[in-house]
Amino acid sequence: MPPVHLNPQDDEKRLLWRLRTHGAQPRSDLARALGLSNSALTKLTRNLLALNLIEEVEPDEPQGRGRPTVPLRISPGGGYAVGVTVHTGVLEIALVDYAGGTIALTSEKIDPPEPHDFARMVDRRIHELAVEHRLLGTRLLGVGLSAPGPALSRDGNRWSIVANLPGWRGAPLRDILTQTLHQPVWIENDATAAALAEYYLGGLIDHCSTAIIITLGYGIGAGIIHDGRLLRGEVGSAGEIGMFYPGDAPRPSPVDLLATLAQAGCPLTSIADFETQTRGFEPVIEQWLDRAAQQLKLAVNSALAWFDPGAIRLTSPLPRAVVQQLADRLNDGLLIWGDHRADCEVATFAVDVSKLRGASSVLGAALLPIHASTAMG
């Protein structure tokens, strides 16, 4: 299927963003919020309805005489997008519809692929999933990749990918994927992609304007989102807190935990088998969590001081129970919340754990094409 580029005009993007962040709304409320006349709004909505990017919501109950108020909302039928990421021995692929609903979320064991093999593998799996979910002929908005490492170029084509993936570091990843997939491709650091998923799908959009998402994946990184905008930095490396932890030393990452378990005699080779193969090694995990919490203390306290976030959340492909134990340790007296929090309108919160079951990075990757079509700025 040929690529489809969505390029909404500014007023269309403002309308789409309003619906995406505030939910279904009547036309009159939209016109008032956007500062548009009723006729201008009618013209905007007519075009977006024709593109199936928005849809009318039928009222649940009769509203008496006259024409009922019919709210508008983002339409799931506006298309779908694909997200891909690679963890230790695992390939994850997600499909989401235009409204952000999850169509498919798959995970499979793989040997670490080189970039061209990876692109061919992803191309095959996208076609298989499109057939399985009856998406052939549906608008495909693009493909997002969450990359385990910081960017090396302003255009986001080359990345400092972890050494576990052979041939990836410095390779023109966007070029390779675009030439194989024949689709628009977005690439973001895995922590930044996770922040997008937690904002849209993890509930943060409803209760805070600034959030920090700390991702424990191949390494450790942070995604920062403020007023619906991803804070990327000069070349896309904002939140690269892995710099605090040299790669040749123990660090608070799942790869380090796997290495720690291996030294203790645990046969675990993939995060996918964590719960079954770590039985009997609970004391090793506990010791690692104690050390990881102490290591994370500086990074989290720095985030509190620099950004005054409304939420700090941990996400990881590790089992949620393990990540929750890490959050509990951070909240147990390690963090400096600041006395001003006690006197301000925003109550002190606790570091919490993602409820997206370790899928934040891949879901965020899938949301990248959708976010690009609606986010302002």
Partnered with residue 87 across adjacent β-strands are 90
Q: What's the maximum distance between 2 C-alpha atoms anywhere in the chain?
A: 75
Question: Is the separation of the CB atoms in 260 and 249 below 8 Å?
Answer: no
Show the tokens assigned to 261.
């378990």
Q: What is the DSSP string of 297-333?
A: HHHHHHHHHHH--SEEEEE-SS-HHHHHHHHHHHHTT
What is the rounded CA–CA span in Å between residue 200 and residue 95? 15
pLDDT of residue 171: 94
For residues 157 and 358, the model is more confident at 157
List pLDDT tens digits, range 232-262: 888 778 898 988 888 788 999 988 999 999 9
Show the tokens assigned to 244.
């605090």
Show the tokens assigned to 246.
């040299």
**189 in helix, strand or coil?**
strand
For the segment 118-140, the average pLDDT, to the nearest whole number, is 96
Local structure of residue 291 (DSSP, 8 states): H
What's the chain's Rg over C-alpha atoms? 22
pTM over 0.75: yes
pLDDT of residue 172: 96
| CB neighbours of residue 368 within 10 Å | 27
> In what helix (H) or strand (E) does residue 221 lie, and over which residues does it extend?
strand 220-226
Q: Which band of pLDDT confidence, cut at 50, 70 and 90, is reported for residue 120?
A: very high
pLDDT of residue 347: 54
pLDDT of residue 345: 58
Question: Is the separation of the CB atoms in 370 and 100 below 8 Å?
Answer: yes
pLDDT of residue 61: 56
Q: What is the DSSP string of 102-150?
A: EEEEEEEE-PPPPHHHHHHHHHHHHHHHHHHTT-TTSPEEEEEEEESS-
pLDDT of residue 94: 98
List pLDDT tens digits, range 161-215: 887 888 999 999 999 999 999 999 999 999 999 999 999 999 998 888 899 999 9
User: Is 135 a residue whose pLDDT tops 80?
Assistant: yes
Instruction: Label residue 67 exposed, middle or buried (CB < 10 Å: 0-12, 13-18, 19+).
Output: exposed
Question: Is the separation of the CB atoms in 119 and 165 below 8 Å?
Answer: no
pLDDT of residue 132: 97
Show the tokens assigned to 269.
């080779």
Query: Which domains, from first to last, does the chain contain?
Result: 10-74 (1.10.10.10), 79-193+361-374 (3.30.420.40), 203-356 (3.30.420.40)
Question: Is the separation of the CB atoms in 148 and 218 below 8 Å?
Answer: yes
* Pick from 36-45, 128-137, 177-186: least confident: 36-45
Mean pLDDT (the chain) is: 89
Q: Which band of pLDDT confidence, cut at 50, 70 and 90, is reported for residue 26?
A: very high
Instruction: Label residue 59 exposed, middle or buried (CB < 10 Å: 0-12, 13-18, 19+).
Output: exposed
Of 57, 45, 18, 53, residue with least CA distance to 34: 18
pLDDT of residue 3: 56
For the segment 287-305, the average pLDDT, to the nearest whole number, is 94
pLDDT of residue 252: 93
Local structure of residue 205 (DSSP, 8 states): G
List pLDDT tens digits, range 55-110: 999 766 555 555 567 899 999 999 999 999 987 678 999 999 999 999 999 999 88
What is the rounded CA–CA span in Å between residue 175 and residue 172? 5
User: Is 1 a residue whose pLDDT tops 70?
Assistant: no
pLDDT of residue 202: 92
Q: Which band of pLDDT confidence, cut at 50, 70 and 90, is reported for residue 10?
A: confident
List pLDDT tens digits, range 201-237: 999 988 888 999 999 987 899 999 998 889 988 877 8
pLDDT of residue 88: 66
